[in-house]
Chain A
């Protein structure tokens, strides 16, 4: 789900720090350096990186824009290989039968089963294509605000790691406490007061 879809899920970040030099050029360089590889690696279970919002399957930041008005807009693509359990089960059964025939035994040990399982997973992992997921990133550099169009924990974690590597800026997740720390004009005294707050008890009976 992205910025221009009809329904959005959004998690927000405060971006700490500043970029030295030309901001647009540095952002372009970071995006290119950590863009998702054009050719899928058959060995990687997961690969992730940036891609232009208009071209999720052709990560070419020289051809497609990432600057829209005063915003940077690009996408995080995460390609993940996932082998269905039933597929592993099927190939395990085939390989176990082969092993029994070859050895002339009518049983195989626990260790042999584990070895077969590892081999099956390895072979299937190379054969199976990765499934891509694309999440848009809207960044207002001047206001230090960033919007990631997903609330999935794994995607948030990938985003935080790749963003820091790409731009050397720390994304701080916005939730009640960090909104107070980064977006409010409260004095230190007020912030101290907020930090001493405890959950409210609304019921009269409990509080009497």
Chain B
């Protein structure tokens, strides 16, 4: 295994490319459950924020942040067309009837603002173990979706037909704006 700090910097683009792919999956109505090989019905939607970055020729960086529940994503799609990629996205993930909201950062896969489904259990002493186990179950569910989808993405990206199929599909989507 490579040195951790070196690997973090060298491969942070993989996380950003992954988030861009997730946006593509959402906008093109791809079947997430089938990508995950899951018996559960899993859907993803873009939540209330998305951040993109674009490296400009002079080593400077353009950052595009779109925030707000009713915000249009046109600026984001225009940025994609100019060569930007997603670095941070707020997602709404539904697993059957359960709703999860969170923001994921591409380079670190850090999760912030994670809201899991509501639980009926209280903080009372006799219910604390049940509460902990239920909360742990919810949190782990969302990481399972993130990791499984990420590994699926890498499987596609390292496949022989990636350039003619996977990448081409994303470019066609971006070209459609």
Q: Tell whether A pairs with B.
A: yes
- Report if A174-B109 is in contact (Cβ < 8 Å); known contacts: A202-B20, A203-B81: yes
Contact of A175 among B85, B107, B170 (CB under 8 A): B107
Q: Is A12 an interface residue (CB 8 A)?
A: yes
A175 to B15, CA, bound (A): 8
- Across the interface, do A199 and B114 meet the contact criterion of CB distance under 8 Å? no
Chain A residues with CB under 8 Å of B72's CB are: none
Bitwise interface map of B from 114 to 133 toward A, beta carbon under 8 Å scored 1, else 0: 11100000010000110111
- Across the interface, do B80 and A10 meet the contact criterion of CB distance under 8 Å? no
Bitwise interface map of B from 1 to 43 toward A, beta carbon under 8 Å scored 1, else 0: 1101001101111111110100000000000000000000000
A54 to B125, CA, bound (A): 9
Bitwise interface map of A from 49 to 60 toward B, beta carbon under 8 Å scored 1, else 0: 000011000000
Chain A residues with CB under 8 Å of B167's CB are: 200
Interface residue ranges of A104-161 to B (CB < 8 Å): 138, 147, 151
Q: Is B67 an interface residue (CB 8 A)?
A: no
A199 to B19, CA, bound (A): 13
Chain B residues with CB under 8 Å of A47's CB are: none
Min C-beta distance of A7 to chain B, whole Å? 6
- Across the interface, do A180 and B82 meet the contact criterion of CB distance under 8 Å? no
Interface residue ranges of A28-68 to B (CB < 8 Å): 53-54, 68
Q: Is B157 an interface residue (CB 8 A)?
A: yes
- Across the interface, do B157 and A202 meet the contact criterion of CB distance under 8 Å? no
- Across the interface, do A193 and B151 meet the contact criterion of CB distance under 8 Å? no
Cβ-Cβ contact count across A and B, 8 Å cutoff: 138
- Across the interface, do A3 and B132 meet the contact criterion of CB distance under 8 Å? yes
- Report if A180-B154 is in contact (Cβ < 8 Å); known contacts: A202-B80, A202-B83, A206-B83: yes
Q: Which residue of A lies closest to B173 (CB)?
A: A202
Chain A residues with CB under 8 Å of B123's CB are: 4
A198 to B158, CA, bound (A): 11
- Across the interface, do B13 and A199 meet the contact criterion of CB distance under 8 Å? yes
**Prevailing SS type, chain A contact patch:** mixed
Q: Is B73 an interface residue (CB 8 A)?
A: no
A173 to B105, CA, bound (A): 14
Interface residue ranges of B80-121 to A (CB < 8 Å): 80-83, 85, 106-116
- Across the interface, do B170 and A202 meet the contact criterion of CB distance under 8 Å? yes
- Report if A202-B85 is in contact (Cβ < 8 Å); known contacts: A4-B132, A177-B10: yes
Which among B12, B112, B129 has the greatest number of chain A C-beta atoms within 10 A?
Answer: B112
Bitwise interface map of A from 172 to 208 toward B, beta carbon under 8 Å scored 1, else 0: 1111111111011010001001100111111110110
Chain B residues with CB under 8 Å of A186's CB are: 151, 154
Which among A3, A176, A194, A206 has the greatest number of chain B C-beta atoms within 10 A?
Answer: A176
Chain B residues with CB under 8 Å of A12's CB are: 109, 143
- Across the interface, do B132 and A71 meet the contact criterion of CB distance under 8 Å? yes
- Across the interface, do A10 and B7 meet the contact criterion of CB distance under 8 Å? no
- Across the interface, do A3 and B14 meet the contact criterion of CB distance under 8 Å? no
A190 to B83, CA, bound (A): 27
Q: Which residue of A lies closest to B101 (CB)?
A: A7
- Report if A197-B14 is in contact (Cβ < 8 Å); known contacts: A68-B129, A69-B133: yes
Min C-beta distance of B30 to chain A, whole Å? 17
Q: Is A89 an interface residue (CB 8 A)?
A: no
A147 to B142, CA, bound (A): 13
Residues of A within 8 A of B (CB): 3-4, 6-12, 53-54, 68-69, 71, 73, 138, 147, 151, 172-181, 183-184, 186, 190, 193-194, 197-204, 206-207
